[in-house]
Amino acid sequence: MVQDQFGYLIVLESIDPEDWAKPGSDEIVQRIKQQRHLGNVVLLHDAGGDRSQTVAALPKIIDYLQTRGDRIVPLSELLNIPRDDLMPPLKAGEMLWTRLITGTGFRLWRAAERFLWAFMIAATALIVLRTVIIAVLASRHHRKFYSPEEAPYHPPLSIIIAAYNEAKVIHATLRSVVDTDYPGMLEVVVIDDGSTDQTAAEVKKLVFTDRRIRLIQQPNGGKSAALRNGLANSKSDILVFLDADTHFDRSTLTQLVQPMIDPKVGAVSGHAKVGNLRTFIARCQSLEYICGFNLERRAYAEWNCITVAPGAVSALRRSAVEAAGGFSLDTLAEDTDLTLSLHKKGYRIDYAPYAVGWTEAPESYQTLAKQRFRWAFGTLQCLWKHRDLVFNPQYKALGWFSLPSVWFFQIVLIAFTPIVDILLILSLFIGGASNMWIYFVVFVLMDVMLAVMACWMDDESILSAWIILPMRIMYRPLLSWVIWRSIFKALKGAWVTWGKLERTASVTARPKEIQAQK
């Protein structure tokens, strides 16, 4: 505060401190002289940024004011009130709270705010870049992939199914496999992993009528142990794996093995689709599967960077599996673990979009959270186990594109998306919404674009893509909670079991074929 020699309160107009520091700032001094009786304010406002300009300007201001006889006084003296009335001292116990809202606390809040803005800007840029790459690569794969009629390769197959308490679904699954139109030889090996229900009895009913089916029973040891047992007790070089609740189309086996004609291909991912669309949660997963399987895997196949040949529907070369060490017991995501190990051995992982397997998706939030927690925890285990692949030039797109994408888009972004949504809602009340909405709209537009493209390539109704909008509010917060829970469990080093889901036997077997027959 400044009081001039005549007793006037000199309040000068708002001036950028940078102007004071410039040569020729005498013009500003002249403006001050002209307006000394007009009642203006000098506001040195740096907005909490670089204060060097303010520091450079202050000596000139002080020299001018003192030269003309003005006196620089504290606000309490100018108002003629005690200092403690103007700035009351802190009471006992108020220091911590004060520091939280000023000083250190304010600096932490500003740092968090800047981090979130930087995160949103970076995330938006990465999402746009990834969307463009996925769209271009998937379109290229869609155009060049052979038609379902072009299927000249029919090697002998060993179909391996690990089953634990699957009495409700195993019969229909086996029927979908043995009723295939596959012209080559095949055997079906079912590993009953210590089931306590009638799983074995249901399998035996079919064993008596179809010699291609064999049942092997073992004490409960987990899915990886069951798959290893199936691998040891099967005969063919080409192995097909499916979950006990998955139904194959009649042409699935034929389509699944076609990429295996190339000896460099160690595994082929089929196209898993949701076969029980009875609830909103199931329909969300259906769209997620369509985008994740039929779109991303098309793109990743172009650059040989598929991260998982899923246990629900996949084909593997026996020699490649053995070279990679077989199914590991280290993680809950044995299919991802094995796929990354195959990459390390130099094998190519391909994708067969017409090899469709209809699987049963969770129909409630509780069962979905249980399944996704296992998936997320298993994925974290695999990412950590194979962390040497990330940004490793030897593995090209796998190390520089798909695995970093898993880290950022499936772990980090899903974990922080609800926080961004909450900040967007708060910004409606505290300001800044106009800036935040730009990034939110870009996020949503990229989601919608990929959803529409995925539905088109999958011969699904384009209108199905609308579910991507409510998914952000009703579906993704649950996935975020699952990610955070998995991270905390991993940091604690807690042991996580497989987490068997209760089957509902609600998969509609080969929906499109049945509809065509009608």
**What count of other Cβ atoms lies within 10 Å of the Cβ of residue 105?**
14
For 188-217, the pLDDT digits (tens) are: 999 999 999 999 999 998 888 888 999 999
Looking at the chain, the whole-number percentage of residues with pLDDT higher than 90 is: 36
* Maximum average pLDDT range among 109-113, 320-324, 471-475, 493-497: 320-324
The residues facing 9 across adjacent strands are 3
Tell me: the pLDDT tens digits for 149-174? 667 889 999 999 999 999 989 999 99
* pLDDT tier at 341, thresholds 50, 70, 90: very high
Read off the pTM: 0.76
pLDDT average, residue stretch 252-278: 93
Query: Of 124-128, 159-163, 287-291, 374-378, which one has max mean pLDDT?
Result: 159-163
CA distances from 41 to 13, 14, 36, 59, 284 (A): 4, 6, 10, 18, 59
34-60: pLDDT as tens digits = 555 555 566 666 665 667 777 777 788
Name the token pair of 467.
């579910």
Higher pLDDT, 256 or 109: 256
Q: Tell me the pairing of strands 238-242 and 157-163.
A: parallel
- Predicted local confidence at residue 5, as pLDDT: 39
Please classify residue 408 by burial: count the beta carbons closer than 10 Å to its beta carbon, then call 0-12 exposed, 13-18 middle and 19+ buried: middle
CA–CA gap between residue 86 and residue 317 (Å, rounded): 81
- Please tell me the distance from the alpha carbon of residue 444 to that of residue 470, in angstroms, as a whole number: 11
Q: Who has greater pLDDT, 387 or 71? A: 387
- Is residue 501's pLDDT more than 70? no
Across 94-108, 392-406, 460-474, the highest mean pLDDT is recorded for 392-406
